[in-house]
C-alpha cells in the first residue's frame, strides 16, 4: 500500500489551527471528498461531531467544501462515532464524516469517514480524495450547489438502534448503573438508552462545555467513575471515551474491567447461546495473555492483529469472525454493529450478566490477567535497535526461560522515538526481571 499524505490509520488528526486541522485545509478536504463521492448514488453526506469547541468551525468548513462540490449535507450535531456509521447506512448516504479526536484533549481534533455501508472508508477512496486535494478547487454552477439541513431526530434514531441490540425479553430494572460520558458525544445518548431499558442511572461527565472533553473523566481516566460506583453502592459503571467508540467498565467492588475482559464476556455469551458458530476472537499484540488462555479453556480460537481497531477489523474480515477488540476498550461485534460501539458493547455485557444471573465481578473471573511490565526506551539514532543481535539474544533468553508461562512483545512506537518493551508472565517479579533485562540491552545498543 503506497504511503498516504494526510490519512492515517484512523482518518486525519492534529492540533486545531495547525495544518491539516485548519479551515483552509478542511474546506478543500470537503470539496475533494465531494468530488470523489459525487455521482455514486444519493449525492448526500452526513456530518457528525463530538463536543469540542472546534467542531463548529470544522463542521462549517466541511459543509462549505461539500456544497461547492454539489453534495447535499445532513448535519447531525454532537453524535457518537458509531452513531454516524449507523445513520450513514440508514439514510442511504454516500458517506458519513466524523469530526472528532476520540480520547485526545479538546485542543486536538480530527476527521474520519465512513462508507455508505457504515464501515471505515476503503484505502482506495482515501487515496482518491488525497489525489483530488492536489487539484485546484472549482465550484459547481450555482444551480448545482449542495444544500444543508439539520437532522432533527438523529439522537432518537440512534437511541432506538442501541435499545434494539438488547434482548426484548430482558430488562435492566433493579440495576443501578453509573455512566461516565467523558463530557463527550454520548452525553445525551447513553443515559437515555439505559433509563429507557429500566436502569437507575447516575451520570458523570455529561456536561460538555467545548473544553472539558476527556478531562479527568471517561474511558482513559477511570478514577472518577470508580469512586462514584463505590460511593453510590452501584451495581457497576461504564465509562465511554469522547466519541463513544470505546468502553471500560467497573464492577461493584471498584475493579476495572478492560477491553480484554469485555471481549471475553461477550465471546463466552455468544458461545453459550450458539451465536459464535465456530468462529473465534481477534485481539491485538497488546491483548493480555490471560485472555488467550481463558478463551483456550473454552476452545474458542484466538488470533492477534497489529495494534489498532482497523487491524482488528481487517483480521476479523479475513477469518470471517465477528468478535474482537483491544484492551483499551475498542470492542467489535460485527454481528451487531459495523464499527466499535461503546454503548452497544456495554449492553452486550449487561445481557450476558442477566442471562448468566451473575454480577460483573463474577462474570469477569473467567479471565486471570497475567502480570504485565511495560518499559519505554527512548532512542535517538536513525536505526531502530530492535533487530540487533544483542537485543534479540536477550529476547530469546526471556522466551526460553518463561516458556508458555510468559511472552515478550518488542515494538516501535508509531508516534514517538520509543521502543516499547512489554513482558507478561504468571509471576510479576519474573515479568519485571525480564522486561528490565531486555530494556537494558536496548539501551546499551542505543548508546553505541
Calpha distance 287→294 (Å, rounded): 12
Q: State mean pLDDT over 119-142.
A: 93
**Range name among 5-9, 257-261, 318-322, 403-407 with the lowest pLDDT average:** 5-9
Higher-pLDDT residue of 174 and 277 is 174
102 in active site: yes
Q: Taking 60 as the threshold, does the pLDDT of residue 2 lie above it? A: no
What are the contacts of 388-393 at 24+ separation with CB within 8 A? 388/445, 390/441, 390/444, 390/445, 391/438, 391/441, 391/442, 391/445, 393/441
Q: Distance between CA atoms of 191 and 172, rounded to whole angstroms?
A: 13
Mean pLDDT over each residue of the chain, to the nearest integer: 94
* Confidence at residue 234, expressed as pLDDT on a 0 to 100 scale: 98
CB neighbours (10 Å) of residue 386?
A: 17
250 forms beta bridges with 237, 256
Give the pLDDT mean for 126-155.
95
Lowest mean per-residue pLDDT among 136-150, 225-239, 347-361, 366-380: 366-380
Sheet holding 256-257, edge to edge: 200-204, 176-180, 236-240, 247-251, 256-257
Q: Using the predicted structure, report yes or no on whether residue 121 has a pLDDT greater than 90.
A: no
* Catalytic residue (one of 38, 54, 67, 102): 102
**12-152 and 158-366: same fold?**
yes
Q: Where are the domains of the chain?
A: 12-152, 158-366, 372-447
Q: Which residues neighbour 426 within 8 Å (Cβ) at sequence distance 6 or greater? A: 370, 371, 405, 406
Tell me what the mean pLDDT of segment 394-401 comes to: 95
More confident of the two residues 80 and 286 = 80
pLDDT at 392 over 50: yes
Q: Identify the weakest region by mean pLDDT among 37-41, 138-142, 365-369.
A: 37-41
Residue in 112, 130, 98, 121 with CA at minimum distance from that of residue 31: 130
Q: What CATH homologous superfamily does 158-366 map to?
A: Alpha-D-Glucose-1,6-Bisphosphate, subunit A, domain 3 (3.40.120.10)
Q: Rounded to the nearest 5 degrees, what angle is found at the Cα of 219, between the Cα atoms of 217 and 220?
A: 75
User: What whole-number distance in Å separates Cα of residue 70 and Cα of residue 142?
Assistant: 9
pLDDT at 395 over 90: yes
238 forms beta bridges with 179, 249
Angle between helix 342-356 and helix 81-90 axes, rounded to 10 deg? 100
C-alpha distances (whole Å) from 367 to each of 290, 291, 418 are 6, 6, 30
Please give the share of the chain, as a percent, with pLDDT higher than 70.
97
The pLDDT tens digits for 208-231 are 999 999 999 999 999 999 999 999
The confidence score (pLDDT) of residue 1 equals 42
Tell me how crowded residue 304 is: count the other CB atoms within 10 A of its CB: 17
| Feature table: binding site for Mg(2+) | 102, 241, 243, 245
Q: What is the pLDDT of residue 5?
A: 85
Q: What gap in Å lies between CA 368 and CA 362, rounded to an integer?
A: 12
Model confidence at 141, in pLDDT bands (50, 70, 90)?
A: very high
CA distance 398 to 401: 5
- CA 330/CA 328 separation, integer angstroms: 6
pLDDT higher than 60, residue 120: yes
In the predicted structure, residue 353 carries a pLDDT above the cut 80: yes
Question: Which superfamily does 372-447 belong to?
Answer: Alpha-D-phosphohexomutase, C-terminal domain (3.30.310.50)
Average pLDDT over residues 120-130: 90
| Total Cβ atoms within 10 A of residue 317 | 12
Specify binding-site residues: 102, 241, 243, 245
| pLDDT given at position 381 | 61
For the domain bounded by 12-152, which CATH number is listed? 3.40.120.10
Q: Please give the grid coordinates belonging to residue 356.
A: 448468566
Q: Check if the beta carbon of residue 283 is closer than 8 Å to that of residue 324.
A: yes
Cβ pair 347, 239 in contact under 8 A: no
Mean pLDDT across 280-299: 95
- pLDDT over 50 (residue 298): yes
Amino acid at each position: 500500500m503506497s504511503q498516504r499524505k494526510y490519512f492515517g490509520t484512523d482518518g486525519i488528526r492534529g492540533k486545531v489551527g495547525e495544518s491539516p486541522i485548519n479551515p483552509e485545509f478542511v474546506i478543500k478536504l470537503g470539496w475533494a471528498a465531494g468530488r470523489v463521492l459525487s455521482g455514486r448514488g444519493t449525492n448526500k453526506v452526513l456530518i457528525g461531531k463530538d463536543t469540542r469547541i472546534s467542531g463548529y468551525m470544522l463542521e462549517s468548513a466541511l459543509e462549505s467544501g461539500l456544497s461547492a462540490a454539489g453534495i447535499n449535507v445532513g448535519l447531525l450535531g454532537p453524535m457518537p462515532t458509531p452513531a454516524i456509521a449507523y445513520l450513514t447506512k440508514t439514510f442511504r448516504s454516500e458517506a458519513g464524516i466524523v469530526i472528532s479526536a476520540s480520547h485526545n484533549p479538546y485542543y486536538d481534533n480530527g476527521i474520519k469517514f465512513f462508507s455508505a455501508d457504515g464501515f471505515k472508508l476503503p484505502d482506495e477512496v482515501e487515496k482518491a480524495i488525497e489525489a483530488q486535494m492536489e487539484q485546484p478547487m472549482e465550484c459547481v454552477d450555482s444551480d448545482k450547489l449542495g444544500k444543508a439541513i439539520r437532522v432533527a431526530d438523529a439522537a432518537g434514531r440512534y437511541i432506538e438502534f442501541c435499545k434494539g441490540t438488547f434482548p426484548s425479553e430482558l430488562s435492566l430494572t433493579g440495576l443501578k448503573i453509573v455512566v461516565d460520558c467523558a463530557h463527550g458525544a454520548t452525553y445525551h445518548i447513553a443515559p437515555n438508552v439505559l433509563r429507557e431499558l429500566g436502569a437507575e442511572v447516575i451520570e458523570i461527565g455529561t456536561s460538555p462545555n467545548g473544553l472539558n472533553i476527556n478531562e479527568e473523566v471517561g474511558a482513559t481516566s477511570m478514577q472518577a467513575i470508580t469512586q462514584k460506583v463505590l460511593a453510590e453502592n452501584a451495581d457497576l459503571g461504564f465509562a465511554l471515551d469522547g466519541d463513544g467508540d470505546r468502553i471500560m467498565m467497573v464492577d461493584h467492588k471498584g475493579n476495572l474491567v478492560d477491553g480484554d475482559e469485555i471481549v471475553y464476556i461477550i465471546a463466552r455469551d455468544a458461545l453459550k447461546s450458539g451465536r459464535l458458530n465456530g468462529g473465534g476472537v481477534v485481539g491485538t499484540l497488546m491483548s493480555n495473555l490471560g485472555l488467550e488462555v481463558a478463551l483456550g479453556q473454552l476452545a474458542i480460537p484466538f488470533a492477534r492483529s497489529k495494534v489498532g481497531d482497523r487491524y482488528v477489523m481487517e483480521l476479523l474480515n479475513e477469518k470471517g469472525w465477528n468478535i474482537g477488540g483491544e484492551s483499551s476498550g475498542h470492542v467489535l461485534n460485527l454481528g451487531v454493529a459495523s464499527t466499535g460501539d461503546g454503548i452497544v458493547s456495554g449492553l452486550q455485557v449487561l445481557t450476558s450478566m442477566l442471562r448468566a444471573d451473575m454480577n460483573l465481578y463474577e462474570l469477569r473471573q473467567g479471565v486471570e490477567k497475567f502480570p504485565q511490565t511495560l518499559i519505554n526506551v527512548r532512542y535517538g539514532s536513525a536505526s531502530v535497535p530492535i533487530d540487533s543481535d544483542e537485543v534479540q539474544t536477550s529476547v530469546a533468553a526471556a522466551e526460553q526461560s518463561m516458556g508458555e508461562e510468559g511472552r515478550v512483545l518488542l515494538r516501535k512506537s508509531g508516534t514517538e522515538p520509543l521502543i516499547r518493551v512489554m513482558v507478561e508472565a504468571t509471576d510479576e517479579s519474573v515479568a519485571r526481571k525480564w522486561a528490565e533485562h531486555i530494556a537494558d540491552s536496548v539501551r546499551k545498543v542505543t548508546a553505541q
